[in-house]
Amino acid sequence: MITIVISSYQYGHLAAHCIESVLSQTKKPSKILFVDDGAHDCRHLPELYPEIEYVLRNQNFGIVKNFQDMLMRVKTEYVMFLGADNWLRSDAIELLSEFETDIVTYDVVVTGQLKNEINERIPNTAQPFHGDYYWSRKNQHHGSMLYKTSLGQDIGYTKSNSIHPQEDWNLWDEMITRGASIGSVEQGLLYYRRHKENFLKYCPQTNQQSSVRQQDDLEKRLEYS
């Protein structure tokens, strides 16, 4: 009983790839929720993929409010958030479904035009892998971890003033504090695309963000650190 939440903001040109990776799973999720957080570039998707439930926001919520709203809509035992610019290996859900732990983590394949920067930010962490980079996340956080919905809803997506201010880290830290059990699949199940669109919302001239959404997007860059 797994719900996949696909979240998009200005990724309408990439979202179909992500959706196809979920629909082609060897074990299908119970439900797929897709949210466009006010970018208005995903209106073509319901006609292409009518089997998915859509939330097409008129206004931008920002990452925290958007994720929290989508989390509270989930009714299945487990939930996974997936960025619309990324995609899953075809047997990901089948492998993850074998666990009954509170959290299931798995390894990541870093790809995309800016993939090399992963080792510039976190040296000697990701290893070369068929032209991309393999990033082991055994028993460690990442933004698309699978977790029990009830535990996540009890904690919620919020910002914190801890060393890891991102909403995903806050959720992870609190789950660990509460003694959540962790399982890991030591295989690269998520293809994490690092590309220019991730970075264009940052304004280097002023070193400032011009909106709440842009601040959220800058923080999202650090989600996997």
Domain 2-197 has CATH 1.10.10.10: no
Comparing 99 with 215, the larger pLDDT belongs to 99
Instruction: Say yes or no to pLDDT of 214 above 60.
Output: no
| DSSP tag of 201 | T
Domain ranges of the chain: 2-197
pLDDT digits (tens, 9 = 90+) for 130-163: 887 898 899 888 889 999 999 999 999 887 655 5
| DSSP tag of 208 | B
pLDDT digits (tens, 9 = 90+) for 40-98: 999 999 999 999 999 999 999 999 999 999 999 999 999 999 999 999 999 999 999 99
Q: Give me the residue label for tokens 């089997």.
A: 51
**pTM given for the model:** 0.84
CA torsion through residues 171, 176, 177, 179, sign = positive
Give every CB contact of residue 42 below 8 A, 6+ residues apart in sequence.
8, 12, 15, 34, 36, 54, 56, 84
